[in-house]
Amino acid sequence: MQQEWSDIVLDAIRDVGHRLLVVTPRLLAALTLILLGWAVAALVRRVALRIMSAADLDARCVRWGLSGALGRSGHRLSPTELVGRLVYWAIFLVGLLMAVEALEMPGTRGAVGTLLAFLPHVIVAVLVVVGGWMLAQFLAQGVLIAAVNAQVAGASLLAAAVRWLVLTVAAAVALTELGVAREMVLLVFGIAFGGAVLALSLAFGLGARELARQALESYLNRAREDRGQPVSHV
């Protein structure tokens, strides 16, 4: 009885010891990878910041209108700092994934490979969203100015419609790139966009026919008045 008890205890200790012997190097490897990821991320961030400062990225972004656009979207960071943080977290995330892989936990085997294989799609989707957002801002601004200069009432509404149209298209393209319910996204986008255009056409053509006539008349009258104004500018 006593022999049996001691065998069980010793077996348990041996088992735990064996497991610890197997797990400890993995834990140490995971910790090392996390630390390495952090160190590399911090180093690359610092180098990137120096390169961007030397290239005067912040001033260039002001000239290209990116800083203004970032500010309007609520970002308080400078472009240099923003890129630095993105670089830092991207590298640190890779380190974390490698650490998880090193632990060889059930269900995580191949996770890094899968995630890295998916990374190009994520990058493309992010670029599409960022590009779409910038294009939306630019076009909406252009439409707003043109509409105000043409003295169109509701210019802000028109600009907002253009902004959201471009953003919706960009979001649909990004989701398709990520493979998120590809067919459903295309279908929903097609139905929503087509429906909105049809609804607007019907509303304007049937419900607001008189309004459309008045708007056109008003526009043509204004153009006639402008031609009649004896003002030359240059």
Partner 1 sequence: MGDGLTLAAVLPPDGAASVEALGPVEALVAVTALNQAHTAGGVVDTVAAGLARGFAGRKAAVLFVDGGSQDGTFEGVSQRPVDGGAVPVASARVAGRPGRGRAVLAALAAARHVGARAASVVDAGLVSLAPESVEILLAPALGGDADYVSPVYDRALTDGTLTTNLLGPLVRALFGKRLQEVLGGCAGVSAALLDTLPPAEEWDDEPTGQGAEMRLLGQALTRQHAVVEVHLGRKQLDPGVAPTDLAHTLVDAVGPLFRLMERDPGTWQDVRGSVPVPRRGHAGSMAPPAGDVRPDRMVRAFHLGLKDLLPLWEQALSDETLGQLYPLGLLGPDDFRFPPPLWARVVVDFAVAHHERRLPRDHLLRALTPLYLGRIAAFVLETQAGSSPGGADALERVGSAFEAEKSVLSARWR
Give residues in contact with partner 1 (CB under 8 A).
62-65, 68, 138, 141-142, 144-149, 151, 153, 155-156, 222, 225-226, 229-234
For partner 1, give the closer residue by CB, 25 or 68. Answer: 68
Please state, in angstroms and rounded to a whole number, the distance separating the CA atoms of residues 27 and 12: 21
Nearest distance from C-beta of residue 136 to partner 1, angstroms: 14
Give the three-state DSSP class for 193.
helix
Task: State which residue, 38 or 133, has the beta carbon closest to partner 1.
Answer: 133
In the bound complex, what is the minimum distance in angstroms from residue 145's beta carbon to partner 1? Answer: 5
Q: Nearer to partner 1 by C-beta: 102 or 159? A: 159
Closest distance to partner 1 from the beta carbon of 161 (Å): 14
Indicate the residue among 37 and 79 with the shorter CB distance to partner 1.
79
Contact 50, 72 (CB under 8 A): no
Q: Which is nearer to partner 1, 32 or 141 (CB)?
A: 141
Least separation in angstroms between CB 229 and partner 1 = 6
In the bound complex, what is the minimum distance in angstroms from residue 152's beta carbon to partner 1?
Answer: 9
Dihedral, CA of residue 141, residue 145, residue 146 and residue 147, to nearest 10: 100
Per the CB < 8 A criterion, the answer to whether 173 and 126 are in contact is no
Tokens 């996390």 correspond to what residue? 34
Nearer Cβ to partner 1 (41/144): 144
Closest listed residue to residue 172, CA positions, set 139, 157, 194: 194
Q: Minimum distance between the CB of residue 230 and partner 1, rounded to whole angstroms?
A: 2
For 34, the token pair is 């996390």
Q: Look at phi and psi of residue 102 and say left if phi exceeds 0, alpha if psi is from -120 to 50, else beta.
A: alpha
Listed residue (27, 175, 12) closest to 105, CA to CA? 27
